[in-house]
Amino acid sequence: MSRESEYIRSLGGSVTRRRLLGGIAGGAALAGLAACGSSASGSGGAAGKAGALPPKFTLPANPADWETKYEQTIEAAAKEGEVVALFGPATVAGEGKIRDEFTKRYGVKVTVVQGSTTDITNRALAEISQGRNETDLAATGPSGIARVVKANALTPLQPELILPEVTDRSKNWHATYIPWEADDTKHLYCTFYGLNVTSNISRIYYNKSKVSDADVNAVKSWQDFLDPKWKGKLAIYDVSQQSQTTLVYMWNALGKDYLDKLLRTQDVKVWAVGADENYANAIARGDQTVALIVGGAEGALLDAASQGLPIAEWPNTLKEGPAAGFQGALSIFANAPHPNAARLYVNWILSKEGGTVYNALTTKPVVHLRSDVPQGALDNQLWQRAQELTSDAIQDQGTPAFNQAVHDSVAWLQGEFKTLNISPAAA
């Protein structure tokens, strides 16, 4: 029996107050999956690190009547019947079964606003400007979150987090603090539920028909992509506009000089934000054979691979090593039309139960941020990388140093594009 099938079997049946709260407190409802698949060690990753939480990441204590409040949230969410979300393209493509499971368990439909991060954020902000907010969750990539934070369109998240296991990060989490998105400088509005533990500083995708195994094995370092043999074969996403986190990882690990040489010597194709399918199709056709920085186009690349097109993630870890950062933004719009459903979704996806569902059903190469949930269907290598992490190895987007690196790297890249007359392609 597959991990996914065993998971669905073990969680079958209706949701009751006793079952829900019992499962949250003790994980009893998840015993079937834990027995079937690998489980996370309580001392693995950051969970074994002692010490008090940094004050800026500590949330207020949960109310004594949190069980009653959560039950009331469940009941009210069921009456609302829907939660409307802005998800990034990769999340839309990779987390459909997770959303379906949430709907099965609580009777709350998850409606996803489809489109590029730019388009769906434009739509939501336009509605808000007209006084008719129709969206509950903002869970896009960095560029979308930055815009809704700047527009003061979000409600403080802290009062929405009800479950003690969600607010207490002293154990059972890969990070011993609650992380906040870089543009959420007040640490009020947007946190994360996923951990992106990449095999390399940036995920690399390539055309399996055009790049041989010998070519792959010959690349030992990021420096090898500066070899003339790769000229005209490389593509990047326009990370001067979106997914700046990947740019920061490369900026910190490889330096400005490396990126400068890459752009000046390798005739790199730069794909515009919103041209996700074009990016994926270009790699599939072999117009470019290696996608070094995939940004918001990762969902389209994964879709193309699932459809049998010759696209795969680079199988080897280069000598510069892997990277780890937070992924899976979570924030709630102010004056959300379905406030209880939004609150329920946020608490559930951060709970042990939600984390177990996530690892069992996601098709994204992302690990849930909790360290106390089973491996589920996650790739063994991805899982092992996550278990070997320490909390301080994760690039924290909420620090001043990270924010400065975002500013410096984006400003430099925009200037570089202008100097080299690079116009990101839309088609």
For residue 427, what pLDDT is reported?
59
In a domain, 135, yes or no: yes
- Interval 142-159 mean pLDDT: 92
Q: Which residue has the higher pLDDT, 321 or 67?
A: 67
Half-sphere exposure of 361 (CA within 13 A, CB side): 22
In a domain, 394, yes or no: no
Q: Which residue has the higher pLDDT, 32 or 359?
A: 359
For the chain, percent of residues with pLDDT exceeding 70: 84
Helix boundaries (H) for 52-210: 66-80, 89-94, 96-106, 117-129, 142-150, 164-167
For residue 61, what pLDDT is reported?
57
Whether the Cβ atoms of residue 395 and residue 249 lie closer than 8 Å to each other? yes
**Residues 139, 30 within the same domain:** yes
- Interval 274-299 mean pLDDT: 92
**Residues 234, 88 within the same domain:** no
In a domain, 359, yes or no: yes
**Residues 311, 381 within the same domain:** no
Q: Domains in the chain: how many in total?
A: 2
Sequence-distant (≥ 6) Cβ neighbours of residue 277 within 8 angstroms: 300
- Helix, strand, or coil here: 362? coil
CATH number at residue 278: 3.40.190.10
Sequence-distant (≥ 6) Cβ neighbours of residue 64 within 8 angstroms: none
For residue 426, what pLDDT is reported?
80
For residue 182, what pLDDT is reported?
81
Range of the domain at 275: 205-321+404-420
Instruction: Examine the pLDDT at 37 and tell me if it is beyond 60.
Output: no
Low-confidence winner among 149-158, 194-203, 368-377, 411-420 (lowest mean pLDDT) = 194-203
CA 217 to chain CA mean position, Å: 29
Instruction: Examine the pLDDT at 19 and tell me if it is beyond 70.
Output: no
- Read off the pLDDT of residues 325-336 as tens digits, 9 standing for 90 and up: 898 999 999 999
**Per-residue pLDDT band at 30 (split at 50, 70, 90):** very low
Round to whole Å and give the CA distance between 295 and 278. Answer: 13
**Per-residue pLDDT band at 10 (split at 50, 70, 90):** very low
- Read off the pLDDT of residues 207-261 as tens digits, 9 standing for 90 and up: 999 999 999 999 999 999 999 999 999 999 998 876 567 888 899 889 999 999 9
For residue 337, what pLDDT is reported?
97
For residue 340, what pLDDT is reported?
98
**Residues 408, 278 within the same domain:** yes
Q: Which residue has the higher pLDDT, 32 or 60?
A: 60
For residue 243, what pLDDT is reported?
58
- Read off the pLDDT of residues 113-137 as tens digits, 9 standing for 90 and up: 988 888 999 999 999 999 999 999 9
- Interval 64-82 mean pLDDT: 95
Q: How far is CA 76 from CA 41, 81, 83, 137, 313, in A?
A: 36, 9, 12, 17, 43
Beta-sheet strands, E only, within 238-382: 269-271, 290-293, 311-313, 323-330, 367-368
Whether the Cβ atoms of residue 237 and residue 389 lie closer than 8 Å to each other? no
**Residues 47, 131 within the same domain:** yes
Residue closest to 181 by CA, chosen among 214, 139, 223, 220: 139
Name the average pLDDT for the chain: 84
300 burial via Cβ count (<10 Å: 0-12, 13-18, 19+)? buried
**Residues 215, 359 within the same domain:** no
**Residues 213, 232 within the same domain:** yes
In a domain, 332, yes or no: yes
**Residues 83, 42 within the same domain:** yes
Encoded amino acid at 185, one letter: T
**Residues 68, 191 within the same domain:** yes
**Residues 32, 149 within the same domain:** yes
For residue 8, what pLDDT is reported?
43
In a domain, 427, yes or no: no
For residue 395, what pLDDT is reported?
80
In a domain, 397, yes or no: no
**Residues 213, 187 within the same domain:** no
Round to whole Å and give the CA distance between 244 and 221. Answer: 22
Strand partners, 52: none
In a domain, 25, yes or no: yes
In a domain, 412, yes or no: yes
For residue 270, what pLDDT is reported?
95
**Residue 172 gets which letter from DSSP?**
S
Low-confidence winner among 6-10, 102-106, 273-277 (lowest mean pLDDT) = 6-10
**Residues 94, 239 within the same domain:** no
